[in-house]
Chain A
Amino acid sequence: MKIESIKLQNFRQYRNVEIKLSISDNKNFNIIQGITGAGKTNLLNAITWCLYGKEKHINEKSAGYLIVNNLTIKELKENEKCNVGVQIQFRDEEGRKVIIGRGREFKKLDNGRIMEINDMSGKSSDGSTIMMFVWIEKDFVEVPDPEIQIDRMIPESIEEYFFFDGERLNDYFLENSGKKILEAVFKISQIGLISNALKHLENKRRELLKEEKNLSPNIRNIRDKLNQEYIKKDENESTLKNYKEQKGKAEDKIKEFSDKLRTVPVSNISQLQKEREKTEKILIKLEEELSDLRKEKLNYLIRIFPSIYAFEAINNTKHTLDDLETAGEIPPDIKKQFLLKLLETGNCICGTDISKDNIYRKRVKELFTKCDDITEITSELIAERILLLSITNEVKNFHNEHFNYNSKIKNLEEKTQNENEQLKRIDDQIKIIDVEEINHWNNKLNEYKELREDYIGKIAICKKQLETNKQEIKRLEEIIDKELKKEEKFKKLQKKLYFYKKSLDVLNNIKDSIMEEVRKEIEEKTTQQFLELIPKKDTYRNIKINENYEISITDKYGMGGIGTLSKGETQILALSFIGALNSVSGFNMPIIIDTPLGRISKEPKINIAGNLSNLLKGKQVTLLVTDDEYSVEVKEKLLDRIGKEYFINFKELENGNEAEVVSYGTQNS
């Protein structure tokens, strides 16, 4: 990539200038000479502004002025417009012409002030408009998204290693050299993408780790509990089955002995047995009724228990609510509006003036605030009051209800007792009939009846226990379901975390190895170039960039440091380093150096000039030089390589400044 021409229109001191640069491989040096303040640095600024919308080398003095040429501003008539523009024409590797242009438009107002015209269409952040064209076949074609294309061609992050101020190169190694060199290696390696990916992966991994904490499955513990509950359920089911079988067997026996007694050929026995069976049926019914009634009573007691135990709380809360209602605070909306109206009008209902901030107004305000709190819970309080009233009434009725239950139970118990006595009488009558076998049957019958009763009780308890088991199993299964979902998520999360960790490791390794490779290459090239450029070739051995990216130099005695170098030698080191950087970068970009030999004394200057062409071999180099730098000796050293030579003719006029760039007339290649 080489620059063919730079056109400047009203850009600072350049009103209408076109600079054509040599793009020849042999004559790869362009010289633009100018005295201090002529505008060399602004040429560098024009290039960075055109490419990135920023004047990257602007000094404080220029930064205070508008970008538009001051002479042009003076000459503008009211409401007249003018453009500021920089256009650079490149020739890419394939020989294609690429034009990049940036512009801003200004207008002179009635009051003489200058205003930027900004229609916001396709504008960059500084208000300028950028366009890019590529010559394809027979015409220039506009390139969409020029900023993105430019960043691919000449990345902004590394432009400072291609467009730089030679005088500032020394500062490069003054302080924080490790940090600066690391930054340079980082940028040159173009591993920003890897770094972004690492950052992103690390953030995601941290998010997942947080999620993982909440997902640690607790499943084993719950599963154990569930298994225990299943075992209990199985045991209860088996017991229930056994009880039912035993009850069935007892009933079979009861039937067997009842039949025997009913059909016995002894007078009265048969009749007595029939009576007994009838009484037994009545008894079973009575006992069922009694059991249901007791159950009903227990339900009632369990339900009323909390109301009676918490009665004081219920009663007090109810009274508080009653008081609020009596005071008209529930429902409070009417009162609240009423109070608001009083506060607004400044007159109390009693005629007192409450328009000023007096004690009466304060009281009304307090009442209003109180109403405000209550309003929020009004509907709930009204509902509560009704419920509490209902509970209070239930408690009041407890004694009667309890009495009724007890009476009914007592009545049934008495009936049951009567029937039992009747049964006993029948039994006794049967017993007195002195027939041994009949007595035996009767005894057996009673024995099995007791057994049946026993099993009925056991079955009832077992059924309740089973019900509790089932409820517990259902609850635990619900929890297990939840935990399983968590576990599934947990496993997925673990897989993701593993992936993130591996990716991070791989990316970190790639990053480190690229950085290491680039560091070594830069170290090697810097040493090579430094030793070529430095006049005292035997004094120094090599340059080292250590793991912390700190640069050091070793002399022939194995000693030394950057601090021992003279200003000129430091600049040579910086040039070597920059040369190494842009050689390693892989970007074939033009190099523009502002005051490249500014701080270097005469002898080394000539030497450096002679070696610059080797250092920057194959690159298009434009040097922005002062008269002092571009001495006859320097010119002689570079002569074979110079393609174009210009002189900046700076004119300080009455109404403003203007600079022209005049060709020396050096022959093109």
Chain B
Amino acid sequence: MEHKILDRLYVNKRDDFKRLLEKDSPLVGYDYKHIFMLALTIGFVEGRRAELESRKEELTRIEYLDDKEKSIIKAIAVIETGGLEVLLDKKKVYAVAEEYAAGGIKLLIQKVFSGEYGSFIKRLGNELEERLKEIRGKSYNGSKN
């Protein structure tokens, strides 16, 4: 495989991510890194992990991610690989994230464009409330799984 320095994030179809930044999208004006994080976490929750066909479709730079975003990516890699050792392998950490983002982007597009434009913020807020209730019901009560 072609060797590249680990400073960028790659996806299968950049245009899918770009679609969410167009003028009819409620996410217009946001950055690719936001779309990446949304797609990644949706992909993770829904168990949609897609192998990257090639590493030619560059999306954004890793340096644009803030510490918390990087931390979420690492946490997903830890759970995915079953151990903290993965943190020594940054290439693997970001490869897991790229694959989930590639798997989750279609679901995100569906989610964003499924309702009316003006209702997106409300829907999003409600969905997060629901998700949190679900997590609390399942596992989160201040104690671990």
Give residues in A with beta carbon < 8 Å to B: 236, 294, 297-298, 301-302, 304-322, 324, 373-374, 376-377, 380-381, 384, 387-388, 390-391, 395, 398-399, 402, 405-406, 461-462, 464-465, 467-468, 471-472
Known interface pairs A309-B44, A373-B85, A402-B128; A465-B28 also in contact (CB < 8 Å): yes
Of the A-B pairs whose beta carbons lie under 8 Å apart in the complex, a sample of 15, sorted by A's number, is A298-B26, A301-B124, A301-B125, A301-B128, A302-B30, A306-B38, A306-B41, A307-B72, A309-B41, A309-B45, A313-B72, A318-B75, A388-B75, A402-B125, A402-B129
Residues of B within 8 A of A399 (CB): 129, 132
In chain B, residues 74-91, which have Cβ atoms closer than 8 Å to a Cβ of chain A?
74-76, 78-80, 84-85, 87-88
Q: Are B28 and A468 in contact (CB under 8 A)?
A: yes
Known: A321-B84, A384-B74, A467-B29. 19 other contacts (CB 8 A): A298-B120, A301-B121, A301-B125, A309-B131, A310-B45, A310-B72, A311-B140, A313-B76, A315-B139, A317-B78, A317-B79, A381-B84, A387-B68, A398-B128, A399-B132, A402-B125, A465-B28, A468-B23, A471-B31
Residues of A within 8 A of B21 (CB): 468
A376 to chain B, nearest CB (A): 6
Residue B145 is within 8 A (CB to CB) of chain A in the complex: yes
Interface SS of chain B: helix
Residues of B within 8 A of A297 (CB): 121, 125
Q: Are A320 and B78 in contact (CB under 8 A)?
A: yes
- Determine the distance from Cα of A472 to Cα of B31 in the docked complex, in whole angstroms: 10
B39-57 to A contact mask, C-beta < 8 Å, 1/0? 0111011000000000000
Residues of A within 8 A of B62 (CB): none
Q: Are B125 and A406 in contact (CB under 8 A)?
A: yes
B116-145 to A contact mask, C-beta < 8 Å, 1/0? 000011001100110110010011100011
Question: Count of chain B residues with Cβ under 8 Å from any Cβ of A?
Answer: 47
- Determine the distance from Cα of A319 to Cα of B67 in the docked complex, in whole angstroms: 19
B26 to chain A, nearest CB (A): 8
- Determine the distance from Cα of A471 to Cα of B17 in the docked complex, in whole angstroms: 14
Q: Are B28 and A310 in contact (CB under 8 A)?
A: no
Give residues in B with beta carbon < 8 Å to A: 18, 21-23, 26-31, 34, 37-38, 40-42, 44-45, 67-69, 71-72, 74-76, 78-80, 84-85, 87-88, 120-121, 124-125, 128-129, 131-132, 135, 138-140, 144-145
- Determine the distance from Cα of A472 to Cα of B144 in the docked complex, in whole angstroms: 43
Partner of B28, one of A306, A314, A464: A464
B74 to chain A, nearest CB (A): 6
Q: Give the most central of B29, B44, B132, B140: most A CB within 10 Å.
A: B29
Partner of A468, one of B22, B42, B79: B22
Residues of A within 8 A of B23 (CB): 236, 461-462, 464-465, 468
Q: Are A305 and B128 in contact (CB under 8 A)?
A: yes
Q: Are B76 and A308 in contact (CB under 8 A)?
A: no
A302 to chain B, nearest CB (A): 6
Q: Are B125 and A306 in contact (CB under 8 A)?
A: no
Considering only CB atoms, which chain B residue lies closest to A300 in the complex?
Answer: B125
B64 to chain A, nearest CB (A): 11
CB-CB nearest 3 A-B residue pairs: A309-B41, A465-B23, A464-B29
A16 to chain B, nearest CB (A): 70
Known interface pairs A317-B79, A387-B71, A388-B71; A308-B28 also in contact (CB < 8 Å): no
- Determine the distance from Cα of A461 to Cα of B71 in the docked complex, in whole angstroms: 33
Considering only CB atoms, which chain B residue lies closest to A309 in the complex?
Answer: B41
A577 to chain B, nearest CB (A): 56
Q: Are B72 and A391 in contact (CB under 8 A)?
A: yes
Q: Give the most central of B27, B84, B138: most A CB within 10 Å.
A: B84
Q: Are B84 and A377 in contact (CB under 8 A)?
A: yes
- Determine the distance from Cα of A316 to Cα of B37 in the docked complex, in whole angstroms: 19
Known interface pairs A310-B44, A316-B145, A465-B22; A381-B68 also in contact (CB < 8 Å): no
B78 to chain A, nearest CB (A): 5
- Determine the distance from Cα of A390 to Cα of B75 in the docked complex, in whole angstroms: 13
Q: Are B84 and A320 in contact (CB under 8 A)?
A: yes
B65 to chain A, nearest CB (A): 11
B92 to chain A, nearest CB (A): 13
- Determine the distance from Cα of A304 to Cα of B124 in the docked complex, in whole angstroms: 11
Residues of A within 8 A of B67 (CB): 387
Q: Are A306 and B74 in contact (CB under 8 A)?
A: no
Residues of B within 8 A of A315 (CB): 139-140, 144-145
- Determine the distance from Cα of A321 to Cα of B21 in the docked complex, in whole angstroms: 37
- Determine the distance from Cα of A307 to Cα of B68 in the docked complex, in whole angstroms: 9
- Determine the distance from Cα of A406 to Cα of B126 in the docked complex, in whole angstroms: 11
Q: Are B42 and A317 in contact (CB under 8 A)?
A: no
